[in-house]
Chains A and B, each alone.
Chain A
Amino acid sequence: MEWLNAVLQGVLLGGLYALLAAGLSLMFGVMRIVNLAHGVLAVVAAYLGYFLVDKLSVPAFLCILIVIPVMAGIGYVLQLGLLNPALARGGLAPILVTFGLAVVVTNLLQQFFSADTRSIQTGAIATDSIQITGDISIGVFPLLTFVVGVAVIAGLQMYLSRSRTGRAMRAASDDKEAAQLMGIDNRRIYAIATAIALGVVGLAGVFLGMRTQFSPTYGDATLIFAFEAVIIGGLGSLWGTLIGGIVLGVAQTVGAQINPAYGILAGNLVFLAILAFRPTGLLPKAVNS
């Protein structure tokens, strides 16, 4: 029974990983940028949430309404100011620039918030749970995270396939030059994509901050988990990212059930196994560009 419980908790944890990974997946899908600052930006959102809730007494879930637009704005500016020039440089520049950014932001967080761990207080919902059977109960907050994760993935997928801007993003992703000839302003489309990605990162960061204790260096683990979810699921597929997140979450909770020290290691090993035996991921995109 405790194994079933571990799997169930893992699935719910997977919702958070999918939420964290969605932005990484989106930026790679549209621009082929792997944002190495992705993890620390989620932590920035968590600190922003912490600051609003803890210092300014904003009600816990309302802080999302402030964090998301702020992060989206940061994303827009980041793309125009830093990432578009890096893309224009080509080659290794985007990787080096986002890595430099990660180091800078991590250490700025250290400077302003110290290395102490924090968390966003959510009140009663943090401990509420729904009893399913005698042994198994589901926490309300993990369930909420999972539902939000699935909803965000579904929403992004809809946006990319249905909306005009979403179509432009896919066009720019498939063939940059052709898209430009069709009158698409790539630089602006990229900025919107990064704004959306960081908006999702903002949401994910707040949920992360409500769920766990975080510190400035927590971005490292966050980046790695998000990345593993993307690769396990298959590059370029948002639904794949959801499945990847769930697989990673289950691997970690089941691993931790065996021995608390094995949780993260088990997740990493599942990732490496996927890499070795099914490098296109569990749900690869049908057509590769």
Chain B
Amino acid sequence: MTTQEATSAPIKVRRATKSSWAGLAVITPVLILLAMGPYIMGRGLQQNLVIMFSLIVLGTMWNLLAGYGGMVSIGQQAYIGIGAYGLVYIADTIGIDPFLAVPIAVVIAGALSLPISFLAFRLSGGYFAIGTWVIAEVVKLVVEQMDVLGAGSGVSFMAITDLSPGRRIAYVYWLSLIAVVVAVGVTYLVMRSRLGLGFTAIRDDAVAAGSLGVRVTRSKRIVYVIAGMGCALAGAMIAANTLRVQPESIFSVEYSAFMIFIVVIGGIGTIEGPIVGAIVFFALQQWLSDFGVWYLVILGLLAIIITLLLPRGIWGLISGNGRIRLFPVGYRLANPLERFALIKDKTAVADKGEPSA
């Protein structure tokens, strides 16, 4: 780059970085490998990976809410349940193709989340958290009264059981892998957009963002609806994986606990954090499952300690507090040092010749 060019375009903004190109070079083969899963993995492993994929989707969505929107929800299980029941009802009772039923269930969840947001947004902070929980409880109590959804005992997902088990598990696996790519991809694209810049501003200071013209409530509502749809997608994955939906388990507040642990442990407010968090959480869950309730005790303590001592989570450690970015959503100067030199040059030029008035 010559000085001439630099002077004519003094500010060059770059979005991708070396680390993000390197990240792409790692992620692409991993995705290709995962896509070949059904050909190279056993059924048990595939089903376990579906659980992990659903955790990644849930964590990504909760991070969108809390990490970018500043909304701590402990009621996202409402949408998990809506997605799960929606899939079963649309595919089994109405008779629409199950793989078409998934996006329909997701859209329904989004449509429901919009009016719900008007209720939930009456509250803020910790009271917003409990308010979302109450809403999830109401959804559960209503579902438990609906005989068409199996009332208190729940429903079985029948539509895909005529497939052979191997084929069924492979389809669900691919569906879940696509769901992860869509959830992370949508988050990435949203965060790169103008909307995302607004979210980042809201995350840092909602009042200041508002005064600079970011439409705070509208942005939060968009986040809330996207998160509702994403959680419904995860709910559909869970239903397709377990073939059984019961109100007590699908509307369990434990899902919210999982989401919070995933995001806090992985690193709140980054796209990479929830992915790392979900993988770590999944590994801990497998590893600590022999310890009974102790595993939730350990996870809870871990969440408290990380919140207080390591608020950027594991990804913050790995990335050196944001120097490495696999998903470049920010804006950075192409070469801050060069720009610095440029300013010095300019002043030098001004000093030398150009007779300024």
The 8 Å CB contact of A261, one of B74, B137, B145, is B145
Q: Please, what's the 1-or-0 string for A35-60, where 1 marks a CB less than 8 Å from any CB in chain B?
A: 11000000000000000000000000
Closest to A274 in B: B122
A174 CB–B CB distance under 8 Å: no
**Chain B interface: which size bin?**
35 or more
Q: Are B260 and A99 in contact (CB under 8 A)?
A: yes
**Of all chain A residues, which has the CB nearest B292?**
A111
Residues in B whose Cβ lies below 8 Å from that of A228: 134
Asked if A76 is at the interface of the complex by the 8 Å CB criterion, the answer is no
Q: Would you give the shortest CB distance from A109 to chain B, in whole angstroms?
A: 9
The chain B residue with its CB closest to the CB of A217 is B253
Tell me which residues across on chain A come within 8 A of B297, comparing CB atoms. Answer: 103-104, 107-108, 111
Determine the chain A residues whose CB is within 8 A of the CB of B300 once the complex forms: 100-104, 107
Interface string of A64-105 (1 = CB under 8 A from B): 000000000000000000100110010111111111111110
> Which A residues lie within 8 Å of B123 (CB)?
231, 275
Chain A: residues with Cβ within 8 Å of the partner, total of 47
A108–B307 Cα distance when bound, in Å, is: 20
Say yes or no for A188: interface residue by CB 8 A criterion.
Answer: no
**B129 and A34 within 8 A (CB):** yes
Whole-angstrom CA separation of A95 from B134 in the bound complex: 16
1/0 per residue, CB under 8 A from B, across A206-247: the answer is: 000000000000001001100110110001000000000000
Which A residues are CB-close (under 8 A) to B138?
Answer: 265, 268-269, 272
Q: Are A34 and B125 in contact (CB under 8 A)?
A: yes
- The reply to whether B299 and A103 form a contact with Cβ atoms under 8 Å apart is yes
Q: Which B residues, 223 to 263, have Cβ-Cβ distances below 8 Å to chain A?
A: 253, 257, 260
* B residues less than 8 Å from A137 (CB atoms): none
B172 at the interface (CB under 8 A from A): no
Beta-carbon contact of B296 and A103 below 8 Å: yes
Given A34-B129, A86-B308, also A92-B134 (CB < 8 A): no
Cβ contacts under 8 Å, B135 to chain A: 272
User: Does any Cβ of A come within 8 Å of B133's Cβ?
Assistant: yes
Q: Assess A96 versus B127: contact at CB under 8 Å? Given A89-B307, A104-B301, A271-B134.
A: no
**Pair A100/B304 contact, Cβ less than 8 Å:** yes
Closest to A108 in B: B297
A96 to B259 Cα, complex, angstroms = 11
A99 touches B257 (CB 8 A): yes
Interface hits, B319-343 → A, CB 8 Å? none
A272's closest neighbor in chain B, by CB?
B119
Which residues of B, 112-171, contact A by the 8 Å Cβ criterion? 118-119, 122-123, 125-127, 129-131, 133-135, 137-138, 141-142, 144-145
Q: A139 interface residue, CB < 8 Å from B?
A: no
Interface residue B311 (Cβ < 8 Å from any Cβ of A): yes
Is the CB–CB distance between B134 and A96 below 8 Å? no
Q: Which single member of A94, A227, A276 contacts B130 (CB below 8 Å)?
A: A227
Name A264's contact: one of B141, B257, B294 (CB within 8 Å). B141
Is B304 touching A95 in the complex (CB atoms < 8 A)?
no
- Please give, as numbers and ranges, the residues of chain A lying within 8 Å of B304 by CB-CB distance: 82, 96-97, 100-101, 104
Q: Let me know if B127 and A231 touch, CB within 8 A.
A: yes
Contact with A along B265-307 (1 / 0, CB 8 A): 0001000000000000000000000001110110111011001
Expressed in whole angstroms, the Cα–Cα distance for A224 and B137 within the complex equals 10
B55 at the interface (CB under 8 A from A): no
Report Cα–Cα, A82/B123, bound state, in Å.
25
Contact status B134-A268, CB under 8 Å: yes
**Chain A residue contacts of B50, Cβ below 8 A:** none
A235–B124 alpha-carbon span in the complex (Å): 12
- Residues of chain A within 8 A of B145, CB atoms compared: 261, 265
| Residues of the B chain whose Cβ atoms lie less than 8 Å from the Cβ of A104 | 296-297, 300-301, 304
Distance between Cα atoms of A108 and B294 in the complex (Å): 8
A94–B118 Cα distance when bound, in Å, is 25
Contacts of A36 in B (CB 8 A): 74, 126, 129-130
| Pairs across A and B, CB under 8 Å, 17 listed | A34-B125, A34-B126, A34-B129, A89-B307, A96-B303, A99-B72, A99-B129, A101-B300, A104-B297, A104-B301, A224-B130, A264-B137, A264-B141, A268-B141, A271-B134, A275-B119, A276-B118
**4 residue pairs, one from A and one from B, having the closest CB atoms:** A34-B126, A104-B300, A103-B300, A100-B304
Which residues does B use to contact A, with CB under 8 Å? 66, 70, 72, 74, 118-119, 122-123, 125-127, 129-131, 133-135, 137-138, 141-142, 144-145, 253, 257, 260, 264, 268, 292-294, 296-297, 299-301, 303-304, 307-308, 311
Enumerate chain A interface residues (CB-CB to B < 8 A).
28, 32-36, 82, 85-86, 89, 91-104, 106-108, 110-111, 220, 223-224, 227-228, 230-231, 235, 261, 264-265, 268-269, 271-272, 275-276, 279
Told that A100-B264, A231-B131, A264-B137 touch, could you supply 9 new A-B pairs with CB distance under 8 A?
A: A28-B127, A86-B307, A96-B260, A99-B129, A100-B300, A104-B296, A108-B297, A110-B293, A276-B122
